[in-house]
Chain A
Amino acid sequence: SKDLLAAENTMQKFYDLPKFGNVSFLHFTDSHAQLQPIYYREPSVNIGLGASLNKAPHLVGDAFLKEYKMKSNSMQAYAFTALDYAESAQRFGKVGGFSHLATLIKRLKADRPHALVLDGGDTWQGSATSLWTKGQDMIDASLLLGVDMMTAHWEFTYGMDRVQEAVDGLKGKINFLAQNVETSDFGDPVFEPYTIREINGVQVAVIGQAFPYTPIANPRYMVSDWTFGIQDQKLQETVDEVRGKGVAVVIVLSHNGMDVDLKLASKVTGIDAILGGHTHDGVPEPVIVSNAKGKTLVTNAGSNGKYLGVLDLNVDKGGVKDFRYKLLPVFSNFLDPDPQMEKLIHSVREPYLDKLNEKLAVTNELLYRRGNFNGSFDQLIVDALLQEKGAQIAFSPGFRWGTTLLPGQAITMEDVMNQTAITYPGTTLNEMSGDTIKTVLEDVADNLFNTDPYYQQGGDMVRVGGLSYTIDPNQSMGNRISNMTLNDKPLEAGKLYKVAGWASVQESSEQGEPIWELVSRYLKDKKVIGDIQLNTPQIKGIENNQGLM
Chain B
Amino acid sequence: AEAQWNKELFEATDNEGVFKALGANTPENSEKVKLVAPDIAENGAVVPIALSTDLENVTMMAFLIPENPNTMTGMFTIPEGTEANIATRVKMAKTSDIFGLVKAGDKYYLAHKEVKVTLGGCGG
Assess A/B contact in the complex (Cβ within 8 A): yes
Known: A30-B124, A153-B123, A280-B124. A447 touches B118 (CB 8 A): yes
A371 CB to nearest B CB, Å: 12
- Residue of A whose beta carbon sits closest to that of B48: A227
Q: Evaluate contact between A218 and B123: CB separation under 8 angstroms.
A: yes
Residues of B within 8 A of A462 (CB): 121-122
Known: A227-B48, A233-B36. A443 touches B124 (CB 8 A): no
A268 CB to nearest B CB, Å: 15
- Residue of A whose beta carbon sits closest to that of B122: A459
Q: Evaluate contact between A455 and B116: CB separation under 8 angstroms.
A: yes
Residues of B within 8 A of A30 (CB): 124
Q: Evaluate contact between B95 and A217: CB separation under 8 angstroms.
A: no
Residues of A within 8 A of B118 (CB): 216, 443, 446-447, 457
Interface membership of chain A positions 470-498, coded 1 if the CB is closer than 8 angstroms to chain B and 0 otherwise:
00000001000000000000000000000
User: Does chain B have a CB within 8 A of A194?
Assistant: no
Q: Give B76-124 interface residues, CB cut-off 8 Å to A.
A: 95, 116, 118-124
Known: A220-B42, A455-B116. A444 touches B124 (CB 8 A): no
Residues of A within 8 A of B41 (CB): 216
Known: A215-B43, A216-B118, A220-B43. A229 touches B124 (CB 8 A): no
Q: In the complex, what distance in Å separates the CA atom of A279 from the CA atom of B39?
A: 19
How many residues of chain A get a CB closer than 8 Å to chain B's CBs? 44
- Residue of A whose beta carbon sits closest to that of B95: A477
Q: In the complex, what distance in Å separates the CA atom of A412 from the CA atom of B39?
A: 41
- Residue of B whose beta carbon sits closest to that of A459: B122
Q: Evaluate contact between B124 and A216: CB separation under 8 angstroms.
A: no
Q: Evaluate contact between A215 and B42: CB separation under 8 angstroms.
A: yes
B87 CB to nearest A CB, Å: 9
Q: Evaluate contact between B121 and A504: CB separation under 8 angstroms.
A: yes
Q: Evaluate contact between A229 and B121: CB separation under 8 angstroms.
A: no
Q: Evaluate contact between A217 and B119: CB separation under 8 angstroms.
A: no
Residues of B within 8 A of A447 (CB): 118, 122
Q: A229-B38, A454-B40 are in contact. List 12 more A-B contacts (CB 8 A).
A: A215-B42, A215-B43, A217-B123, A218-B123, A220-B42, A230-B39, A257-B124, A398-B122, A399-B124, A439-B119, A462-B121, A505-B121
Residue pairs across A and B with Cβ atoms less than 8 A apart, 6 shown, are A30-B124, A154-B123, A213-B42, A227-B48, A443-B118, A459-B122
